[in-house]
Amino acid sequence: MYLRQYLNQNPLNKQTFHLLLFFLMLTASFSVLSKPILTLEQAEKMALMDEPGIVSQQWQMESLSAQSVADGQLMDPRLQVGLNNLPTDTFDFDQENMTQFKIGITQQFPSGDSLNIKQQKTQKQSELFLSQISERKLSIIKEVRLTYFEIYYWEKAKKTIKQNKRFFSQLVNIVQSMFSVGRNNQQDLIRAQLELSRLDDRLVIITQKINTQRSKLSRWIGAQTSTQALSTQLPVLSVPEISENFESLNQLFFNHPKILEIDKKIEISRKDIQLVRESYKPGWALNVGYGYRDNNQNGGSRADFLSAGVSIDLPLFTANRQDKKLLSKEHKYQSLKDNRVAMLRQLVANLQQEVANEEQLNNRHQLYNNLLLPQAKQQTKASLLAYQSDQGNFSDVMRAYIDDLNVKLDERRIAVDHLQSKAKILYFTSSFHKPEAH
């Protein structure tokens, strides 16, 4: 009141105050407009950027790639240095003809083509991480999409309940005015206030849901970014046409990272079998030595000695070693092949189930948009008009308002479930689709 009197007495100050107020409102508007918006595409890119799990797998891949080079090399030669046949009575190097200083080198050669096969095996172990990295990227994208859509739903649910809370507040005012003139009883007023309080409770629960989902999203994009407001428009995911033929779906999954991972394990298992078969072949070692002898005590020269030899492994008793090891590797190989068939069946079944789920959700969404939402809105208006004209009771009004709210929330839930189903289908089909806005 004092401020109003002061401004009325000082017109110049009043104009300055209005100008300052205008700039404050303009600044506030710009701050709201400049608030960063987190889109689904941004969340996906951030989740994959320097993701620790992917980076760790990349380092393991590089480690095995370097190891494969080392596995293809021969063992280092062994140097032998010795003093042979030194007499113990005088310890003179030139006393006996047999005394010599000997130096030798031994080189071991593994059996068959073991080195090359072992190198190929390690390289394939390195390549295995490519499939695991691809699968992890698909899983992260799927989880980010599911979580983003879940946050979107609860944010929309919160906004919807707040809007309906205003309608319930207006309804409470109508009941109070009618109660004040004796046109209804106190029970109607208490019921209206009770339903209004229930909306406050639902808002508290929804806020908790939002916080939980944003914490889940923060694992992939960071705590600070996960608190940003989401886009007001629901993203759109496009899924490819899915064949209903089982064999065609099998072909579709041949390039899925989970199947490629098993394929690579099968290749590694084949190399294990080849390595065991090479162990039936003998390994061998080459020894070369040079023995130096000093002149005799009379000054006469002595010839030096050159020696060479070959040692060969003799894999004669293979029944309990090579045979059993080969049998073990062959069993593992068959197990991986059966595991591949089982994984294909599981992926195909999961995809078919998700495709059927997506189709039903699409039908339900159309039903809600075309029939249930308009009908619920008409019911609310009709029941309120009947109640105000003393042709209906208050319980019908409350039921209509609650039904209208639930139908709106169900429609948003189905829309989000529909998108989440598409996100799961895209995981199975190994497709990365950029979201589009309506």
Tell me the pLDDT tens digit for each residue of 384-393: 888 778 787 7
Which pLDDT band holds residue 435 (cuts at 50, 70, 90)? very low
Question: Is the separation of the CB atoms in 159 and 222 below 8 Å?
Answer: no
Question: Is the separation of the CB atoms in 144 and 220 below 8 Å?
Answer: yes
Residue 363's CB is within 10 A of a number of other CB atoms, namely 12
Contacts of 405 (CB under 8 A, 6+ apart): 160, 161, 164
Task: Write down the pTM of the prediction.
Answer: 0.81
pLDDT: which is higher, 14 or 351: 351
| Res 255 pLDDT > 80 | yes
Tell me the pLDDT tens digit for each residue of 70-83: 999 999 999 999 98
Which pLDDT band holds residue 182 (cuts at 50, 70, 90)? low
Q: Taking each helix axis from N to C terminus, what angle separates 114-180 and 186-221, rounded to the nearest 10 degrees?
A: 160
Tokens 């899924």 belong to residue: 239
Tell me the pLDDT tens digit for each residue of 103-145: 999 999 999 899 999 999 999 999 999 999 999 999 999 999 9
Across the range 217-226, mean pLDDT stands at 91
Domain ranges in the chain? Answer: 41-72+140-280+318-428
Strand, helix or coil for residue 280: coil
Average pLDDT score over the chain: 85
Please report the pLDDT score of residue 183 as a whole number: 57
Which pLDDT band holds residue 29 (cuts at 50, 70, 90)? very low
Fold classification of 41-72+140-280+318-428 (topology level): Outer membrane efflux proteins (OEP) (1.20.1600)
Tell me the pLDDT tens digit for each residue of 308-330: 999 998 888 888 899 999 999 99
Question: Is the separation of the CB atoms in 348 and 246 below 8 Å?
Answer: yes
Which pLDDT band holds residue 21 (cuts at 50, 70, 90)? low
Please report the pLDDT score of residue 434 as a whole number: 43
Across the range 354-380, mean pLDDT stands at 94
Token pair belonging to 251? 């072909």
| Res 348 pLDDT > 80 | yes
